[in-house]
Amino acid sequence: MRHLAIVLLFVIAVFQANSLQAQPDRWQQHIKYNINVAMDVVSNKLNGTEKVEYINNSPDTLNKVFIHLYWNAFQPNSSMDVRSRELGKILLTNRRGDQTPDWDARVKDRISKLSPTEIGYQKVNSIKINGKDQQLIEHETILEVRLDKAILPKSKTILDINFEAQVPVQIRRSGRDNAEGVRYSMSQWYPKLVEYDYQGWNANPYIAREFYGVWGDYDVKISIDKNYMIAATGVLQNANQIGFGFEGAGVKVPAATQNNLTWNFTGSNIHDFVWAADPTFKHLSKKSASGVMLHVFYKPTDARNDSAWANVLWAADKVLPFIEKHFGKYPYPQYSFIQGGDGGMEYAMATLIKGPSLGTVFHEWMHTWYQQIMGTNESLFPWMDEGFTDYATGEVSDEYYQNWAQLSPHTSAGAKSGLVRMNEINKTKLPLHQSGSFEGYISLAKSGFEEPLSTHSDHYNTNLAYGAASYSKGATFMGQLGYIVGDSIRNKIILNYYDQWHFKHPNANDFIRVAEKTSGLALQWYKEYWVNSTKTIDYAVGDISTKDNKTFVTIKRIGKMPMPVEVLLTFKDGTKELHYMPLDLMFGEKPNESAVNRIVHKEWHWTHPEYQLETSRPIQDLKSIEIDPSYRMADINKTNNKLVIPD
């Protein structure tokens, strides 16, 4: 019997080990695009073909596929048009007391006024599989393709797509002739396969917000007037035939023999492709120490403008090592900062940016990590992209302005003097970017317009709520996480998150599980309160009493969201005590981050609105009591956080 028991235990152990090893990573669909387009710069129309190899790695049989036709949004009475005009009917009161419409100032009612030659459209003329036409049903910006033969699990099919399009006048992200004079900003320009994931088809109509795509490989050929320079996703394959500064050193580029040139770009393991074109683009480039080729494309106007764009290249090169150390390695061979679009918008290996502002430059570049590498579903989790990116942008900005800006050959002496003063002012405060995010969130929480972060990005009731939630509250989530688990642990979480979830479309719970495993603390409560509710944090100093020469301080939880709490007691002799009360839902405590003597108390149960802490010092020794002395908790009313004891 003893021998049999040992055998059974061995078999069970082997089975369990194999089961753990056999647990698959979340499956990902894969795609290969081979796109050929011809751009007519007179009519602003293009014609093209796509050969798309679609690999179904899911366990499901697919009887249909969906395709994005983004430019159909730029037509009068489209969903984007009507949605924008409806939101414009909502009046918001600004700080001056004026009422302003809640619409995107870039869109407003402009789509409703487009003429037939100004609208955008994408028309798929045919889709064939094995030479057979498939049934096409257009739903404005979504094309439904009903397949004559299903795509089986773990199989692939090839779609031959024939399409035509008209480039809209520039309104939102895509378009021609933007305010800065860039001829073409070609984003969302091709029929793009909708992502199918563990939640099914993500066929989100193009209303206003963000994007989600299938990772794959792109081989793109663009024929355009020979005088136009193209900046794009990917690596130019025929640089020595094209020229425009892409050619190798010493290469003599042959003169064009036809009116058009065909540019060929390729990119691997990306989920989008963007390009821009203009006959007066200026091209700057530099190879970073890590081997990444950095490009800048812009329309030259004057010496000051040239210097600002040159500084984009200089700054990007300087901060890349910091970015890779703190947020993960950049996995692609190149990145391009391209003037175009209507502000700033991220794409694979590139961004379209209106101007050379480094705030926008760093923000759009950091989207590479939280959109192009993580590939989070922005429709469902916009805060995981915009918020995490906003947080990272601040970290990168601090690195640049504290360590590099004064060394830039493109920064004026006056600006450098201002940077010195700014750095001195900010040395002892919460990082400026974090305080800005906190203020943005708190303003939202008090506005009456807040909705849970779990709201679909297209379905927020106001643009105000979407913007402040996705950016400010999302960034505050990350900053405040440092308060809960410790900044150093939070920083490890960020890197572990990258390591475990790049190229896998993580969701909110995926991030929290990484945070829990890294910190050793339970954190589901944080997600539930911060993401799935609009409950707020508000703690206050309560009564003070004394007994047996000890002092007892009551801390009140006024807000409905519980948190671990730090309270700093400062005494008249200059000594201090940091009292730390972990939240019971954490099942643990964060490491000591303070040089001040820290006293860890029994956990505070979330059900209890008050907590009484004690110090062995008599009440007459007390000078002040302060909740959250590091200012990392998003308490919506800090006026009740500190009490100064009168002499």
Residue pLDDT, tens place only, 248-280: 999 999 999 999 999 999 999 999 999 999 999
DSSP state, 378?
Answer: T
Query: 628 is written with which tokens?
Result: 């959250």
List the beta bridge partners of residue 91.
Answer: 101
What domains are defined for the chain?
A: 297-534 (1.10.390.10), 539-644 (2.60.40)
List the beta bridge partners of residue 175.
Answer: 185
What are the Cα distances from residue 134, in Å, to 29, 124, 128, 144, 161? 21, 11, 6, 10, 10
Q: How confident is the model at residue 211 (pLDDT cuts 50, 70, 90)?
A: confident
Q: How far apart are CA 274 and CA 427, in angstroms?
A: 40
Q: Is the pLDDT of residue 12 over 80?
A: no
Task: Show Cβ contacts of residue 152 under 8 Å, excluding neighbours closer than 6 positions.
Answer: 56, 61
DSSP state, 134?
Answer: P
Q: Is the pLDDT of residue 421 over 90?
A: no
Q: How far apart are CA 533 and CA 500, in angstroms?
A: 27
- Edge-first strand order for the sheet with 142-151 is 135-139, 142-151, 62-68, 192-193
Q: Is the pLDDT of residue 17 over 90?
A: no
Q: Which helix (H) or strand (E) holds 193?
A: strand 192-193
The pLDDT score that the predictor gives to residue 491 is 98
**536-556 pLDDT per residue, tens:** 999 999 999 999 989 999 999
Question: In the predicted model, what is the mean pLDDT of the chain?
Answer: 93
Say whether 625 sits in a helix, a strand or coil. Answer: strand
Which residue's structure tokens are 């200012």? 631
Query: 318 is written with which tokens?
Result: 């300087």
For residue 233, give the nearest of 370, 372, 401, 394 by alpha carbon. 372
The pLDDT score that the predictor gives to residue 96 is 81
Q: Is the pLDDT of residue 573 over 80?
A: yes
Q: How far apart are CA 188 and CA 174, in angstroms?
A: 7
Output phi, psi for 356, to 5 deg.
-90, 20
For residue 401, give the nearest of 444, 362, 458, 453 by alpha carbon. 362
**575-590 pLDDT per residue, tens:** 999 999 999 999 999 9
**341-363 pLDDT per residue, tens:** 999 999 999 999 999 999 999 99
Task: Show Cβ contacts of residue 390 under 8 Å, excluding neighbours closer than 6 positions.
Answer: 363, 433, 437, 471, 472, 474, 475
**296-334 pLDDT per residue, tens:** 999 999 999 999 999 999 999 999 999 999 999 999 999
When mean pLDDT is compared across 95-104, 181-190, 574-583, the lowest value belongs to: 95-104
Q: How confident is the model at residue 1 (pLDDT cuts 50, 70, 90)?
A: very low
The pLDDT score that the predictor gives to residue 424 is 52
How many other CB atoms are found less than 10 A from the CB of residue 366?
25
**428-472 pLDDT per residue, tens:** 445 555 778 999 999 999 999 999 999 999 999 999 999 999 999
The pLDDT score that the predictor gives to residue 43 is 98
Percent of the chain at pLDDT above 90?
A: 90
List the beta bridge partners of residue 552.
Answer: 545, 614
Q: Is the pLDDT of residue 161 over 50?
A: yes
- Edge-first strand order for the sheet with 334-339 is 282-287, 293-298, 334-339, 350-353, 344-347
For residue 439, give the nearest of 413, 476, 406 by alpha carbon. 476
Checking DSSP bridges between strand 235-236 and strand 260-270, what pairing results, if any? antiparallel
Q: Are 9 and 2 in contact (CB under 8 A)?
A: no
The pLDDT score that the predictor gives to residue 647 is 80
Q: How confident is the model at residue 414 (pLDDT cuts 50, 70, 90)?
A: low
What are the Cα distances from residue 25, in Å, to 20, 141, 198, 497, 504? 11, 32, 12, 15, 9
Residue 410 φ/ψ region, left for φ over 0, alpha for ψ in the -120 to 50 degree band, beta for the rest: alpha
Q: Is the pLDDT of residue 399 over 50?
A: yes
